Homo-oligomer: A and B are copies of this chain.
Amino acid sequence: MTTMSNRYQADAAKNRPTMRHVAALAGVGIKTVSRVMNDEAGVSEATRKRVLSASQQLNYQLDMAAGSLRRSGRQTLSIGLLLPSVSNPFSSEIHRALEDTLAARGIAVFAASLDDDPEREKALVAAFLGRRVDGLVLTPIAKSQSYVIPEHSRDLPMVFIDREPVGIEADAVVTDNAVGAAKAAAHLIAHGHTKLAYLGDRADIQTARERKRGFVEELGRAGIATSAVPVIEGLHDEESACQAALGLLRSEDPPTAVFSSQNLVTFGAMRALKELGASRRVALVGFDDFTLADMMDPGITVIAQHPERIGKLAAERLLARIDGDDSTPQTYVVPSELIERGSGELRPR
């Protein structure tokens, strides 16, 4: 028996030990080891200690994959998260909040970046499915998400974030984009502006469309002719936004207030205003908050989103689904918030 234990021990030092190794060393059956490792009842304290000691001696680690293969329910305690990019500040805040909520349940997170590529979206979903994740949290970018319908019907929990999915009914957690943009317009109008301008992202992005819609509708409510308000779309980076803003501000009848629909666009507008020395003359409200916004001169007024709340809510919905909630899928709206910092409170002239 001693030789056998030794052999198992030597074996386990190089190769990864299994329950058999632990069982042999502890002198018990394999099922007993399983009971101890899973904190199941029905093991005497003495046996428990022997098993624990053997497992520590061998540095044994339960193999979750092998376990879940046999276990009914087949949970892997891991989920897949698809983001525009893991390095995008908005996305990574969501990621963090999700992680915190899921970690409390011992769930690990696979994270991946989409880069606006619909093909990648499908490929990454497939990659996650192959790893048998217990759920999926994704930022949809493909035209339709109907390709996941088979999985969804198999009760794979799924929550969409930032944008609502198309072609499938599933839970979603989004910002009130239209309302937020309308708040920005109303704020500028309340400060005396009638000559507004809109700098927007690509129209194929759902959130961008929503923001534009909200902004324009608010103009209508305020009785400002939409035709008098320049709306520039298709801005996806700082440089193009800066050029667009420069064009507007140098025109014959320049706006006295600008709304930018997204961070990079806001940065471009800020650069343009700075270049023209107009930062304290032309009002600016940007959608989405950013670091150092309060350190600018003037501070930049923004419609802040709450990524941490989106992430937390998405995680909670996912857990509820994992726990068997089968109510009708729903879209949850997280309100945005106007933060006054100076640039949005400048008055015309």
Interface residue ranges, A against B (CB under 8 Å): 13-16, 59, 61-66, 68-69, 76, 78, 85-89, 92-93, 95-96, 99-100, 103, 106, 108-113, 126-132, 150-151, 153-154, 267, 270-271, 274, 290-292, 295-297
| Known interface pairs A62-B130, A99-B86, A291-B290; A109-B108 also in contact (CB < 8 Å) | no
A63–B132 Cα distance when bound, in Å, is 7
Whether the Cβ atoms of B86 and A150 lie closer than 8 Å is: no
On chain B, the residues within 8 Å of A99 by CB distance are 86, 111-113
Whether the Cβ atoms of A61 and B130 lie closer than 8 Å is: yes
On chain B, the residues within 8 Å of A108 by CB distance are 110, 112, 127-128, 131
A16–B69 Cα distance when bound, in Å, is 13
Return the contact of A110 from the options B95, B110, B127, B151 (Cβ within 8 A). B110
| Known interface pairs A66-B69, A111-B111, A290-B291; A95-B86 also in contact (CB < 8 Å) | yes
CB-nearest residue of chain B to A130: B64
| Known interface pairs A15-B154, A111-B111; A64-B131 also in contact (CB < 8 Å) | yes
Whether the Cβ atoms of A87 and B92 lie closer than 8 Å is: yes
CB-nearest residue of chain B to A274: B295
Whether the Cβ atoms of B270 and A132 lie closer than 8 Å is: no
A20 to chain B, nearest CB (A): 15
Whether the Cβ atoms of B86 and A96 lie closer than 8 Å is: yes
A87–B130 Cα distance when bound, in Å, is 27
On chain B, the residues within 8 Å of A297 by CB distance are 297
CB-nearest residue of chain B to A67: B130
Whether the Cβ atoms of B86 and A76 lie closer than 8 Å is: no
A146 to chain B, nearest CB (A): 13
Return the contact of A130 from the options B63, B96, B103, B295 (Cβ within 8 A). B63
CB-nearest residue of chain B to A74: B16
A127–B112 Cα distance when bound, in Å, is 19
On chain B, the residues within 8 Å of A15 by CB distance are 154
Whether the Cβ atoms of B290 and A270 lie closer than 8 Å is: no
A153–B12 Cα distance when bound, in Å, is 11
A299 to chain B, nearest CB (A): 11
A27 to chain B, nearest CB (A): 22
A78–B76 Cα distance when bound, in Å, is 14
